[in-house]
Structure 1
Amino acid sequence: MTSNHSAPEHESDDDQLCSELGLPARGIHLVKMEGRVFLRFSGEVRDAGLTVPYELVPAQGVLAKPSKWRKMDRETRLDLLRERSGERAVRELHDGAAAFVRELAGECEDYGLDAMTFLRTLEDLQTSEPAGVVFDRVRQRLEHAVERQREERHAERTKQSINLAEYPASFEVARRLPRKFIALLGPTNSGKTHRAIEALAKAPSGIYLAPLRLLALENYERLQGFTAHGKPLAVSLVTGEERRVVEGATHVASTVEMLDTRTLVDVAVIDEIQMLADRDRGAAWTAAVCGAPARTVYLVGAPEARRAIEALAERLECQLEVHVLKRKGPLSVEATSVRKLKNIRRGDALIAFSRRDVLMWRDMVTEAGLSVATVYGNLSPEVRRAQAQRFRDGAADVVVGTDAIAMGLNMPIQRIVMTSSVKFNGYEEEEIPAALARQIAGRAGRYGIHEEGLVAGFDDETHQVMRALLKEKPAPLNTSGFSVAPTLEHLHRIASVTGETSLAKLLKRFVHNIDVPDGFFYPRITEDQSGRAEWLDSLPLSVAEKFTMSLVPISGKVMSLQNAWEHWAISLSRSKPTRLDPERQPLHHLGLHEVEDTCRLYSAYAWLGYRLPEYFPDIAMAQDLSRQASERVDTLLQDQNAATRRRHSKKFR
C-alpha cells in the first residue's frame, strides 16, 4: 500500500486488517478522530452491584497521527495492531476499569450520590484520550458534584443559622425597652443638632453618636459646657482610636461604630441619620437605630431620611415623633459665577474634591493676596479643627477644602464657591448628588453671623449645575434594604455549622447564604474588607484575629500604610507584639503628604491597640505620636501659606 491511496481505500484496507485479526469480535475498534488513529476497547464491568459498559482507549491505544498512519505499509500496520490489541492490553484495561468502578461507587455511596450518573461517561465520552485521563475527568466531575452538594448543604445550614428578619432582636437591651424615636429633620443651619444636644445634656444619662471623630470631639467638648446639679456634666469620649473615659461619667460622645449596646441610658442622639444609605458605612446607622439602648432616641439629619425612619420605627414597633425644621437664614445662589481669583473675598469657602486640587486652589488664592485655612479628608481631626479655628479667629481670610467641611465643622462662611461639581465616587468621576450639593451649600451663612448664605460656581458651567442641583429635590432614602454588616458572632455561627475557617468564604456566605426573608435588612460587606480577607487567609490567624485586621481603618491605596498593615498582620500571626519606635522616622525630615500618612498610621495602630492590646501595646505612644504628627501637618500648612504669600508680596513690590 502506497501513501497516495485514497481515504476510502485506506479505510477498506484498515477494515480488512481488523477483520483479519478478529478485532471487532473482541470488541476492539480502530478509530480515526481528533488528529489521531487509535484503538478503542468495548467491554462491561459487573462490580459493586453495578453493570457498567465502557468504550475506552488503553494506555498504549494511540497508534499514530493520520498522516503517519497513511505512510505505513500494510505489514507495519498489521504488526502495530497485533501488538497493541493483545490479551494483556485488554485485561489491563478491564482490570483498571473495574478498579475505578469500585472506587467511584464507594465514594458515591459515602456522599449519597448515584454512581451511574458519573459512570455512564465511560461509554458515552467519545474521545481519543487514554482511559486514565477519562477516569480523572470523571473523578473531577464527582469532586465538583460533592463540592456543590457540600456548598448547598452549607448554604442551607447558614440560612438556618442567621435570619436577618430577627436582626433587631439581637440587641437585647434595646429589645426590652419601650423606646421612642424623635426625628429632627432639616437642612444645614436649621438648628436640629443644637436642639438634640440640649435635650441630651438635660437627660440624666445619654450618648451622642457621630459619623466622624471630629464631630464626636466637638460635641464631647460641647457637652462638657453644660452643668448638672451645679457641676459640669461628666462626659467621656469614645472613638475607635481614642478613649477619654471619665469615672462616673453620665454622658458619652462616641463615633457611631463604637456604640455600646449594653449600657442603658435615657437619651441617645444619632447624628446624620441619612447615612443609613451610605454604601460602606450605612450598616453602622442600621445597628445604631436598632440597638441604641435608650428610652428616647433622637434621629438627626436630612429631610430625605423621613420615609426610611418611618419604616424603621414601624418595623421596630417604636413610637415616632417627627419634627421638620427650616433653615434659620436664607440661602441664595449668586447672580453670576465668580470667574476670577480677584473676585474671591474674605469669608468665602472654596470647595474642591481632591487633596491635590485643594492645595492647588490654596496656592492660587494665597498668591492672589488672601490668607487660607485648608481642610480635607486626609487631615486628622485635630488639624482640621486647628485650620477651622484659624478661619473662625480671622487669622485666615478664606477656607479651601473638600466636602469634608460639609460635616462636622461649624465655620462663619458667608459664601460657598464650588470649583467643580464633579467628584470621584470610588469608581469614576460623576456629578455630585443633589443631597451633597445641598449639604455643602448649606454651610454658607452661619446663623447669627451672616444675614444670608450665598452659593456660586467658580466657572459658568459649575455655577449653572449648582443652581440646578439646589432646585432639585433630593431623592428619599429607600424604605427597605437597610445594610447589616457581619459581626464576629455572625461569622462564628456560620463557621460552627459549616466548619469553614476562611474569612473570605465566611464573609461570602454571610452575603450570599444567610436568610433575608423580606429584604428589609440586607447583608453588606465592603470591597476593602473582602479584598483584605483573601490576603489574611494566607496567614495562620484565628477567625477573630482576621476579622479584626480586616476592619483596621487604614488606606490600602497608600503603599506605606498598606505595608505597615501587612507587617502588623504577619507579626500577629507569629504571636509577636508590634512596638513603636518614635526615633525611627523623625517628622521634620518628612514632607506634608508623608506626615499626613504618618498621622494616619499612628491612629490605626491605636485603633488596633484597643482591640488587641497584647500585640499592640503602645497605645499611649501612638496617640502622642499622632498628635505630634498633627501639629507638624498644621505647621507645614501654615508655613506653605506663608511662603506663598511672601512670594506674592515680592512680586508686587
Structure 2
Amino acid sequence: MKVFYKLKEWEKIRQKYNDKGAVKRREEKLMKKFNKWDKKCELYERKVREYKDVKREENRGVISWVKDILGVKGEEEEIPLPDNLKPFYSYSPKPRKPDFTLLDATDPNLRKLTPLEKKVLKNSSKTTSLLSQIKSEWSESYSQYLLSTHGPSFTKAALIKATSDLTSPSSLYPLPRLSHRKITYHSGPTNSGKTYNALLALKSAPTGMYLGPLRLLALEVYEELTSSGVYCSLITGQERRNVPFSTHVSATVEMARMEEFDVVVIDEIQLLGDEERGAGWTRAFMGVECKEVHVCGGGEGVERVRRMAEECGDDFEVVEYERFNELKVEEGPLNKNKDYKTGVREGDAIVAFSKNDIFAIRREIEENTEFKCCVIYGALPPESRAQQAKLFNDPSSDYKVLVASDAVGLGLNLNIGRVVFHTMFKGGRNVEILNHSLVKQIAGRAGRRNSVYKHGAVTCRRKEDMRHLRKMLETDITPIERAGLLPNVQHVEAFADVTGIESMSELFSQFTSAAQVSRGYFLCRQEAISKAASMADTLENLKVTEKFTLCIAPFNESDEMAKGLVMGFAEALQRGRPYGLDVKIPEGRVKTFEDLGHLCALHHLIDLYLWLSQRFEVADNALETATAMRRKRVLLGMITEALEGGEGALKLKHDYNKMDERYRARWRKLQRERQGRDRGGKGERRFLPNRGTGKGEASARGPASRNQKQRRFARGKKRQDAAVS
C-alpha cells in the first residue's frame, strides 16, 4: 500500500494497469484491504472530518485566501506553480496549458479524480496527512513569492486593517480597562423613579458626571445639583459653564469627559441603538473612567448592555423598577365629533406630529374652551420648551392644557393627567403607524409621581385608533440587538495617513467599506456624513480632522442657510480669521406661523455657530461669540412673546381633519402596495380575484392568457386609485 502514498509512483501504477479489467480487479482487491484497515482504525471519524476541513479550504483557492488577507479587490494573478508541487498535478486527464499556473491548480473542476483515487482520499487518514503537507508547502511557496513581489502591499494591508478595525470597541479605551467597574442598570418604564435613584448615588459621590440625551436634561440636573450645594459645571454642544473647584459635571452624552470620576450616570441608555446618535452612548459607556456606572433606561436595553459589560470585563447588576401610578386606557375616545371643542379637561396633553396640527389644535381649544394651551415641539429652542413646560407645571398659571409633539416623550418632567393621541400616523410622504416603543414612551408620561393625579390615563381623538393603542400598550418592547459606533477623529486621521486619500467623501467611503464591525454593532450616520463629506471636498487647506469635524456638525444638508453658515465658517477657518455671524433679527411683532418658524431657524443657526466655535479655536473669536449669545437671547424673547401672545397671535390656515384623512388614505395605499409586492413578487402589484364569484377567474379551457392578466391588473389598479381618491 505504500505505493499509493508516494507521489512519484502514481504514474507507474496507472501505466502498469492499462487494461480496464485488470484495473477493476486491482481496485476491488485494494478496496478490501482499505476496508479491513479502516475497521481497525479507531480515529476514522475524526480523520474524515479533518479531511473535509482541508478539502473545504483547498477549494477556496490560494488566490482567494491571499485576497482575503490583503483585503483588496482586483483581477487574479497568474502565479507559476512551485516545482516541488508540479508532479502532483501531472496526472490530470484534461489537456493543460503549456504554462501551468497556481490559478489553474486551484480550480476544483480541473483535476478529475478516478473512482479509486476518490475512495483513497475519502477513507485514508494518511492521504489526509499528505494533503495537509501539500497545502503547507503550497502556502509556503506562494507566501515567498508574494513577499518578494508584494511586500509593500502586505504592510499597507495590515495598516489599513488596523486603522479600520472596530471589532473590539472596548479596546479603544485602554484606561477604563485597567480598572474593574461596577455597572448598575436601572431598568423600568417612565415614572418609575429609576433616574431619581441613580441621581442619589451621584449626589453622594465625591466626584461624578451626569450624561443625558438633551440639553434640557443636562440643565435640569445641573440646577438640581447646584441647589443641593454641589459644585457642578454644565457642558453642552453650545454652552459651557465652568464652575471653579467643581466636583461634578452635567453634560450631554456627546460631550462626555473621559476623565476619572467616582460615579457616572448615563440616562436613556436604550438610545445606544439609535441610528443617528447611538455612537454617543456606546462611547460614553465604554470610555468613562470611574468606579461605578449607573445606566438608566427601559428593559429593552438590558441584554445588549450586559454583553457590552462582559466585553469590558466589568461587573453587571440589574435593578428592576415598577411604575408608581397605574396607567389606564379609557373606554372611549375624547368625544364623538373627532374634535377638541368638547371633552378637553385640565391636565390633558394632546400629542400630534405636525407643527400645523399643533397650532390648529391650540387655536380650537382656546376658542371653544376656557383653557389656555402651552406648545412643545422639536423645532422650538430647548430654552423655549423648558419655559413652556414650566408654565404648564405651574398650578397658579392659566395654562392648563399642553399641545405637543413626540418631543414630550423624552426628557421633560410634566404634570400630565391624561395623554390624548391626535392620530396614530406619523410622517410625510412615507406615512408610518406608531410603533409600540413610541406609544409606550408617550403614554407613560401621564400620571407623574408626586403630581395631583392618582393615576395616568390615555385615549385617542378617534374611536378607530383605540384598538391600535391598546395593542401597542400590550406589546412587549423589542430588545435592542446592536449598538451604534462612529469612527473618531483619530481613526479618520490614521486611515488618511495610510491610504493617502485626500478627498473626504472618498476617504469616508473607503473607511466604511474596510471597517470591520462585530455582530452586535453598526456604524451610525453613514448617509448624513457622506453627504456632508461631499460638501467638505470643496474646501482646501484644511486638515482631515477639521473636515471630519465639519461633517459631524449638527445640521441638515438640505438646509441652505445652515449649509452656507458651515461653508462660511470653514472659509474663515482657512484664512485663520474669525467668522462674523450674519443673522439679521426681524423687526416688529411676530404675526404668522411662518414668522415663528423663521425665528426658530435663526436660533438654530446661532446654536450651530456656537457649536462650531467651541470645536475650532479661532483667534479673536470671543467678540463674535458674545454677539451671537446676545442675539440668541433676543430671539428667545421674541419666540416666547409669540407663543404667549394670546388668542389670534399667530395666523394659520390649516384643517387638521383633512390632513389626517390624507395620511390615512396614504397609509392604506402603501399597505396595498406592500401586500401586492408580497403576493406578486418584487416590484409587481397583483390583485387576486374573489373566490366563488367567477369574476376574474380563468376559463374552463385553461389558464388565463397574458393579455387577460394585464387587463385584470389594469382594472384592479383603476379601482384602487378610485378608492384612494
Task: Using structure 2 for the length normalisation, give the TM-score.
Answer: 0.65
Which residue, out of 232, 235, 241, partners 2:232?
235
Say which SS state the counterpart of residue 343 (structure 1) adopts: coil
What does 1:106-185 correspond to in 2, within 5 Å? 157-185=159-187
Report the counterpart of residue 274 of structure 2 in structure 1.
278
Task: Using structure 1 for the length normalisation, give the TM-score.
Answer: 0.71
Alpha-carbon offset, residue 112 of structure 1: 12
Q: Does 1:221 align with 2:217?
A: no
Q: Does 1:269 align with 2:279?
A: no
Q: Does 1:259 align with 2:256?
A: yes
Alpha-carbon offset, residue 526 of structure 1: 3.6
CA separation of 1:456 and 1:112: change in aligned 2, threshold 3 A: closer
Alpha-carbon offset, residue 549 of structure 1: 1.2
Say which SS state the counterpart of residue 283 (structure 1) adopts: helix
Q: How far apart, in 2, do the equivalents of 1:521 and 1:447 lie?
A: 36
Which residue, out of 584, 597, 603, partners 2:601?
597
Alpha-carbon offset, residue 527 of structure 1: 2.0
Q: Is the 8 A contact 1:511 1:524 kept in 2?
A: no
Q: How far apart, in 2, do the equivalents of 1:629 and 1:242 lie?
A: 16
Q: How far apart, in 2, do the equivalents of 1:314 and 1:321 lie?
A: 12
Q: Kindly provide the CA deviation profile for residues 148-182 of structure 1, in whole angstroms up to 9, marking residues without a partner as x.
A: x9999976642232322332122233122210000
Q: How far apart, in 2, do the equivalents of 1:316 and 1:557 lie?
A: 39
Q: Does 1:547 align with 2:543?
A: no
Report the counterpart of residue 49 of structure 2 in structure 1.
none
Report the counterpart of residue 140 of structure 1 in structure 2.
none
What does 1:79-118 correspond to in 2, within 5 Å? none
Say which SS state the counterpart of residue 265 (structure 2) adopts: strand
Alpha-carbon offset, residue 360 of structure 1: 2.0
Q: Does 1:456 align with 2:459?
A: yes
Say which SS state the counterpart of residue 296 (structure 2) adopts: strand
Which residue, out of 278, 291, 297, partners 1:295?
291
CA separation of 1:471 and 1:570: change in aligned 2, threshold 3 A: same
What does 1:175-214 correspond to in 2, within 5 Å? 175-214=177-216
Alpha-carbon offset, residue 644 of structure 1: 7.5
Q: How far apart, in 1, do the equivalents of 2:247 and 2:566 lie?
A: 36
Q: Does 1:322 align with 2:322?
A: no
Which residue, out of 248, 264, 267, partners 2:245?
248
Which residue, out of 614, 619, 626, partners 2:618?
614
CA separation of 1:522 and 1:494: change in aligned 2, threshold 3 A: same
Q: Does 1:504 align with 2:543?
A: no
Report the counterpart of residue 572 of structure 1 in structure 2.
573
Q: How far apart, in 2, do the equivalents of 1:175 and 1:253 lie?
A: 24
Q: How far apart, in 1, do the equivalents of 2:582 and 2:480 lie?
A: 47
Q: Does 1:468 align with 2:471?
A: yes
What does 1:605-644 correspond to in 2, within 5 Å? 605-614=609-618, 617=622, 618-639=624-645, 641=647, 643=649
Say which SS state the counterpart of residue 487 (structure 2) adopts: coil
Say which SS state the counterpart of residue 385 (structure 1) adopts: helix
CA separation of 1:427 and 1:578: change in aligned 2, threshold 3 A: farther
- Decide which moves more: 611-620 or 621-630: 611-620
- Name the % identity: 33
Q: How far apart, in 2, do the equivalents of 1:150 and 1:392 lie?
A: 67
The code of the aligned residue for 2:442 comes to: I
Report the counterpart of residue 560 of structure 1 in structure 2.
561
Q: How many residues align?
A: 493
Q: Is the 8 A contact 2:576 2:618 kept in 1?
A: no
Say which SS state the counterpart of residue 416 (structure 1) adopts: strand
The code of the aligned residue for 2:509 comes to: K
Q: Kindly provide the CA deviation profile for residues 8-34 of structure 1, in whole angstroms up to 9, marking residues without a partner as x.
A: xxxxxxxxxxxxxxxxxxxxxxxxxxx
Q: Is the 8 A contact 1:347 1:414 kept in 2?
A: yes
Q: How far apart, in 1, do the equivalents of 2:567 and 2:429 lie?
A: 25
CA separation of 1:644 and 1:578: change in aligned 2, threshold 3 A: closer
Q: How far apart, in 2, do the equivalents of 1:349 and 1:270 lie?
A: 28
Alpha-carbon offset, residue 561 of structure 1: 2.5
Question: Is there any run of 5+ residues in structure 2 with no aligned partner, and where?
Answer: 1-74, 80-150, 652-725
Q: Does 1:347 align with 2:350?
A: no
Q: How far apart, in 2, do the equivalents of 1:589 and 1:533 lie?
A: 39
Say which SS state the counterpart of residue 416 (structure 2) adopts: coil
Alpha-carbon offset, residue 469 of structure 1: 0.6
Q: Kindly provide the CA deviation profile for residues 543-573 of structure 1, in whole angstroms up to 9, marking residues without a partner as x.
A: 1221111122123333333332333233334
Q: Kindly provide the CA deviation profile for residues 272-292 of structure 1, in whole angstroms up to 9, marking residues without a partner as x.
A: 011011011111111111112
Q: Does 1:434 align with 2:431?
A: no
Report the counterpart of residue 78 of structure 1 in structure 2.
none
Q: Kindly provide the CA deviation profile for residues 218-256 of structure 1, in whole angstroms up to 9, marking residues without a partner as x.
A: 111111122xxxxx1100000000000101111110000
Q: How far apart, in 2, do the equivalents of 1:151 and 1:344 lie?
A: 71
The code of the aligned residue for 2:603 comes to: C
Report the counterpart of residue 99 of structure 1 in structure 2.
none
Q: Is the 8 A contact 1:165 1:520 kept in 2?
A: no
Report the counterpart of residue 330 of structure 2 in structure 1.
334
Alpha-carbon offset, residue 621 of structure 1: 2.5
The code of the aligned residue for 2:465 comes to: T
Q: Does 1:482 align with 2:488?
A: no
Alpha-carbon offset, residue 587 of structure 1: 5.2
Q: Is the 8 A contact 1:366 1:644 kept in 2?
A: no
Q: How far apart, in 1, do the equivalents of 2:605 and 2:266 lie?
A: 28
- Decide which moves more: 496-505 or 405-414: 496-505
Q: Kindly provide the CA deviation profile for residues 63-118 of structure 1, in whole angstroms up to 9, marking residues without a partner as x.
A: xxxxxxxxxxxxxxxxxxxxxxxxxxxxxxxxxxxxxxxxxxxxxxxx99779xxx
Q: Is the 8 A contact 1:241 1:606 kept in 2?
A: yes
CA separation of 1:422 and 1:234: change in aligned 2, threshold 3 A: same
Q: How far apart, in 2, do the equivalents of 1:438 and 1:488 lie?
A: 37
Q: Is the 8 A contact 2:532 2:557 kept in 1?
A: no
Q: Is the 8 A contact 2:642 2:650 kept in 1?
A: no
Question: Is there any run of 5+ residues in structure 1 with no aligned partner, and where?
Answer: 1-110, 116-148, 227-231, 646-653
Q: Is the 8 A contact 1:163 1:515 kept in 2?
A: yes
Say which SS state the counterpart of residue 560 (structure 1) adopts: helix
- Decide which moves more: 441-450 or 249-258: 441-450
Q: Is the 8 A contact 1:603 1:623 kept in 2?
A: no
Give the structure with the higher percent strand: 1
Q: How far apart, in 2, do the equivalents of 1:548 and 1:644 lie?
A: 38
Q: Is the 8 A contact 1:372 1:400 kept in 2?
A: yes
CA separation of 1:295 and 1:345: change in aligned 2, threshold 3 A: same
Report the counterpart of residue 361 of structure 2 in structure 1.
361
Alpha-carbon offset, residue 512 of structure 1: 1.6
Q: Kindly provide the CA deviation profile for residues 475-495 of structure 1, in whole angstroms up to 9, marking residues without a partner as x.
A: 1111xx422101110001111
CA separation of 1:166 and 1:277: change in aligned 2, threshold 3 A: closer
Say which SS state the counterpart of residue 516 (structure 2) adopts: coil
Q: Kindly provide the CA deviation profile for residues 373-393 of structure 1, in whole angstroms up to 9, marking residues without a partner as x.
A: 000011111100111111111
CA separation of 1:571 and 1:507: change in aligned 2, threshold 3 A: same
CA separation of 1:157 and 1:461: change in aligned 2, threshold 3 A: farther
Q: How far apart, in 1, do the equivalents of 2:650 and 2:379 lie?
A: 22
Q: How far apart, in 2, do the equivalents of 1:346 and 1:271 lie?
A: 30
What does 1:365-444 correspond to in 2, within 5 Å? 365-369=365-369, 370-393=371-394, 394-424=397-427, 428-444=430-446
The code of the aligned residue for 2:501 comes to: E
The code of the aligned residue for 1:629 comes to: L
CA separation of 1:644 and 1:588: change in aligned 2, threshold 3 A: closer
Say which SS state the counterpart of residue 210 (structure 2) adopts: strand
Q: How far apart, in 1, do the equivalents of 2:627 and 2:253 lie?
A: 25
Q: How far apart, in 2, do the equivalents of 1:225 and 1:151 lie?
A: 61
CA separation of 1:524 and 1:236: change in aligned 2, threshold 3 A: same
Q: How far apart, in 2, do the equivalents of 1:386 and 1:296 lie?
A: 34
The code of the aligned residue for 2:628 comes to: A
CA separation of 1:493 and 1:587: change in aligned 2, threshold 3 A: farther
The code of the aligned residue for 1:267 comes to: V
- Decide which moves more: 605-614 or 501-510: 501-510
